[in-house]
A and B are shown apart, each in its own frame.
Chain A
């Protein structure tokens, strides 16, 4: 018979669990959400890192690269002799203009050589579809997947390109991925724009012929042996290439695509580590509080069971089983959900990080950690409550809780109690007698609110950052870049183009900044001291002042160089004549994006011994003339890049949406689940703690409404206290996150919109109302007769 199999204690367990099923479901979801966000985030991050490592490894991602004007192939032997060089691949690479029908803005392309008769030794290609190139194959190219996808090209399509002044129609025979171009950033672009920039590969000999590079190369990639001294190799390589117009070599940390991948992963890791840790801690805290109170409601039963001969160990086992049910179901849902959502999210990320191998990694240690953490919190909560009840002499535990010492409430002491109704006074007295319980409830609800604020604030900060960057700071609508420096008179021509209202000169030079043993490749932008359009703002939205004559740099760049105001910085200009300058830092400013350095344009030009030249222009235009203007610009061969600010912002938003915000969206849902779970549980437990008392009041003649007022008055007060507390905690969590999110790509401003606060408060209030309604239905069901019989 079943009876022999299931002991009376286990039957009690099952029925008790069934009686509080609503609360259990809520707490299980809270716990599962915590575990899910943890498993999901770490799974995705681990998988991405693994995907990157495998990709770089299998496709021989190089360690060092360098470009030059034209280097005879024979120089390769000299490079091979550098100590530490394990593998060399020389390449020819050339810029091209890509003409795509229907595009109002020209696209640019980079063509790299593909060795004839063999595979590349370094930076190999992953063939996504089609085929690789045949030796000497002319008019055929391999295209990067991103560009192909952005333009919805297919294999066999022809692309028109202007290479070295000659227009050619090239057929796409293969679609490929390269570890060198996981992200492809066009010249002057801050973000990858797959529509506007593509990477292509062409037969080496065919390309050599097209750009007059027979028997020569202009780009080299190196793989180093494990014990190589990277700096040493770079220095020697630079020395060898210098006579051939070599530009400073760089390693992985400065390689554009890799830098971008690293920055994106850092962002994801920061949000994806901090957020789930916060969630898991909040969930664990809440599970702890709820289990404590759940067990505390069984105090009388614990006393009785002890009195009739159950030992502490047997009782502990009984209540731990209750925890185990929560832990096991919560963990199962959390782990299964985490893996499921994680692999789904990874799938989405695979379109963003173009790694050929991306599989969801089951990080068992993360799973064990998250489950163990929640289980420990739940167990500790149960254990403490159990111990409190079990440590009491059974005789005392069985008595309904002793009436607490009567004290005049603060209202009575202040003699303002007469302003409150009889019922309100009951509510206040209850609160004052059990301040810790009320406080813990408020903390629980407060945390729920805080994570709602937190989850939404990231979007606010991001939008604010973009507003500063694209609307408040940069007031230009179009940013142009020239192929090479041009006289200032070029701006006069541009001013005459249709729709152009204002033009401002810009002078950008690529540089290597050195301070002590630290160095950083970046650019110096020459701007006007009092710009109307291209303004650089610091975090307090003040325009940066470049009139000091020296360099003005972002705090992040100064940090990377270990420099402060007044320090001299060595500047290697990475252009034509490669002059070397020494410049003082005249100011450091806090900025949100990039690692910029600025100077007065006139001062920069005179330092370079050049007349008034520009490399770009900031334009304010009339949007009604966009079409004709873009057409005009497209026809000027000297203009290599054109950034439309509206489009830039779109791209940046899209990148953020695709990357960080995706995870945030998942977190927002979890935060909602946790908030509701906590509030419902708080209300439900308050009800079971009070049910007997409320029944007695009903018997004394209070209406259901009045009884509900007492219960909900107390809960309402808790929620009211929780709201400001939660807003405060939420602000703190955001501040912590913003401080942690500090990449070279951007620093997040701490900016929380009132809408975000309002949203969190509304979710909490709606959760409270729904919970109250659900509990109200219980109040409705209070059985007065049963209550009087002393049955709980």
Chain B
């Protein structure tokens, strides 16, 4: 288990944890966009717990609220009502600064559209994080983990989609986060490339025990998860625990 010393630097994080095994706990969170007749209810009361170290898959049709949920627990967005706790601390109580710190030290994001800085090489994109994180791994090491050590000095435009996404994963893991939040990381990739990406994520989850939450449309991916949460119409439809998650290579795509 990697050492998350960075956690200690924030006093807000030091308080006792209610349920030590739960990384995230949400209580009846709702999210509305817009006003008046055009109001969109993206979340209609989501109460969930995410245990430490698990690989969790969020499944559900488009517009079911998965991304909104992920953004809220990652501190990228605020719920309209309800509470989110990370290791016992309410995100709603955090200042903007503390939220920034929370994202910087504890959360690794992987986005569907990679979001690499086009003017930086693969290595430099990872260094973007290692420059500011408290206890990062060397950027090269992060890229080695995603098997890109021979692509260090390539710019995003010189990398394939799958390679770009693996750079994004390296960027996320380099800070040694406690949670990885991945919004359709394979959405734009073909199956073979997608498997490489998922393999990298599963690898990180197993090696470092990093709690990993992945949004996907692909039901097959659910087989590799410890837990599958089904979203529908802004609510949790069901939660299925998988006692025997498969290895990424065992699943058909």
In the complex, B191 has a CB within 8 A of chain A: no
Knowing A11-B124, A393-B78, the reply to whether A314 touches B132 (Cβ < 8 A) is yes
B128's partner among A305, A306, A791 (CB-CB below 8 A) is: A305
Answer whether residue A7 sits at the interface, using C-beta atoms and an 8 A cutoff: yes
Residues of B within 8 A of A9 (CB): 128, 131
List CB contacts (< 8 Å) of B121-168 with chain A: 124-125, 127-129, 131-133, 156-157, 160-161, 164
B231 on the A face (CB < 8 A): no
Q: A307-B103, A311-B97, A393-B77 in contact; A789/B127 too (CB < 8 A)?
A: no
Q: Which of B84-123 contact A (CB under 8 A)?
A: 96-97, 100-101, 103-105, 107, 109, 111, 113-120
Please, could you name 13 A-B residue pairs with CB atoms under 8 Å apart, sorted by A? A301-B115, A301-B117, A304-B115, A307-B109, A308-B104, A309-B100, A309-B101, A309-B132, A309-B133, A310-B100, A311-B100, A783-B157, A789-B164
Check if A128 is an interface residue, CB within 8 A of chain B.
no
Interface residues of A in 768-786 (CB under 8 A from B): 783, 786
Q: In the A-B complex, list the 6 residue pairs whose CB atoms are closest, starting with the nearest.
A: A309-B104, A15-B119, A8-B127, A304-B115, A395-B71, A395-B76
Q: A789-B157, A789-B164 are in contact. Are A398 and B188 (CB under 8 A)?
A: no
A300 within 8 A of B: yes
Bound-complex Cα distance A790 to B161 (A)? 9
Q: Is the CB of B101 within 8 A of A308?
A: no
Residue of A nearest to B103 (CB): A309
CA distance A393 to B104 in the complex (A): 15
The answer to whether the Cβ of A19 comes within 8 Å of any Cβ in the partner chain is yes
**A12-B120, A308-B171 in contact; A394/B131 too (CB < 8 A)?**
no
CB contacts (< 8 Å) of A11 on chain B: these are: 119-120, 124
**A307-B103, A307-B109, A395-B77 known; A312+B124 contact, CB < 8 A:** no
Is B77 touching A12 in the complex (CB atoms < 8 A)? no
Q: A789-B164, A790-B113 are in contact. Are A312 and B96 (CB under 8 A)?
A: yes
Q: Are B188 and A12 in contact (CB under 8 A)?
A: no
**Contact between chains at B117 and A12 (CB < 8 Å):** yes
CB contacts (< 8 Å) of A786 on chain B: these are 157
With A304-B115, A308-B109 as contacts: A8 and B131 at CB distance below 8 Å: yes
A312: B residues at CB distance < 8 A = 96, 100
Bound-state CA distance A393–B74 (Å) is 11
Chain A residues with CB below 8 A from B111, complex form: 304, 307, 398
Are A308 and B114 closer than 8 Å at their CB atoms? no
Contact B128 A394 (CB under 8 A): no
A-chain residues with CB within 8 Å of residue B96 when the two chains form the complex: 312
Cα–Cα, bound, A783→B155 (Å) = 15
> Main SS of chain A's interface residues?
helix
List CB contacts (< 8 Å) of A285-311 with chain B.
300-301, 303-311
Question: How many Å from the CB of B62 to the closest CB on chain A?
Answer: 14
A positions within 8 Å CB-CB of B: 3, 7-9, 11-12, 15-16, 19, 300-301, 303-312, 314, 393-396, 398, 783, 786, 789-792
Measured CA separation A673–B203 after assembly (Å): 58
Contact among B74, B118, B160 with A792 in the assembled complex (CB-CB below 8 Å) = B118
Q: Considering the chains assembled together, what is the distance between the CA atoms of A394 and B72 in angstroms?
A: 11
- Across-interface contacts of A789 in B (CB, < 8 A): 156-157, 160-161, 164
CB distance from A300 to the nearest CB of B (A): 7
Which of A312, A394, A396: most chain B CB closer than 10 A? A394
- Given A12-B128, A395-B77, 14 further pairs, Cβ under 8 A: A9-B131, A301-B115, A304-B117, A307-B109, A309-B100, A309-B107, A309-B133, A310-B100, A310-B104, A310-B132, A311-B97, A791-B116, A791-B118, A791-B157
Q: Which residues does chain A contribute within 8 Å of B105, judged by CB atoms?
A: 309
Q: How large is the interface on B (under 10, 10 to 19, 20 to 34, 35 or more residues)?
A: 35 or more
CA distance A642 to B197 in the complex (A): 97
Query: Which A residue sits closest to B160, measured CB to CB?
Result: A789
CB distance from A403 to the nearest CB of B (A): 14
Partner of B100, one of A16, A306, A791: A306
Task: State in angstroms the CA–CA spacing of A792 and B114 once bound together.
Answer: 12
Give residues of chain B (56-76) contacting chain A, Cβ–Cβ below 8 Å: 67, 71, 74, 76
Given A15-B120, A307-B76, A308-B109, answer yes or no on A790-B125 (Cβ-Cβ < 8 Å).
no
Q: Write out the residue numbers on chain A whose beta carbons fall within 8 Å of the beta carbon of B157.
A: 783, 786, 789, 791
Q: In the complex the two chains form, what is the Cα distance from A398 to B103 in whole Å?
A: 15
Most A C-beta atoms less than 10 A away, residue of B96, B117, B188: B117
Alpha-carbon separation in the docked complex, A8 to B97 (Å): 22
Q: In the assembly, what is the distance between CA of A518 and CA of B103, in Å?
A: 77
- Which B residue sits closest to A399, measured CB to CB? B113
CB-based nearest B residue for A7: B131
Pairwise interchain contact A12-B124, C-beta atoms closer than 8 A? yes
* B28 CB to nearest chain A CB (Å): 21
Residues on A with beta carbons closer than 8 Å to the beta carbon of B97: 311
- The interface residues of chain A lying within 8 Å CB-to-CB of B117 are 12, 301, 304
Q: Would B77 and A308 count as touching, CB distance under 8 A?
A: no
B115: chain A residues at CB < 8 Å are 300-301, 303-304, 307, 398
From A9, A308, A394, A398, residue with most partner B Cβ within 10 Å:
A308
Q: Which B8-42 residues have a C-beta within 8 angstroms of A?
A: none
- Closest residue on chain B to residue A397 by CB atoms: B76
| B128 and A308 contacting across the interface, CB-CB below 8 Å | yes
Evaluate contact between A791 and B156: CB separation under 8 angstroms.
yes
Which residues on A sit within 8 Å (CB–CB) of B124? 8, 11-12
Q: Contacts of A790 on B, CB cut-off 8 Å?
A: 113-114, 161, 188
Would you give the shortest CB distance from B126 to chain A, in whole angstroms? 8
Bound-state CA distance A307–B113 (Å) is 14
Contact, CB under 8 Å: A308 / B129: yes
- Chain A residues with CB under 8 Å of B128's CB are 8-9, 12, 305, 308
Residues of A within 8 A of B67 (CB): 395
Q: Are B103 and A8 in contact (CB under 8 A)?
A: no
One of A3, A8, A19, A792 near B125 (C-beta < 8 A): A8
Q: How far is the CB of A332 from the nearest CB of chain B, in Å?
A: 25
Chain A residues within 8 Å of B188, by CB: 790
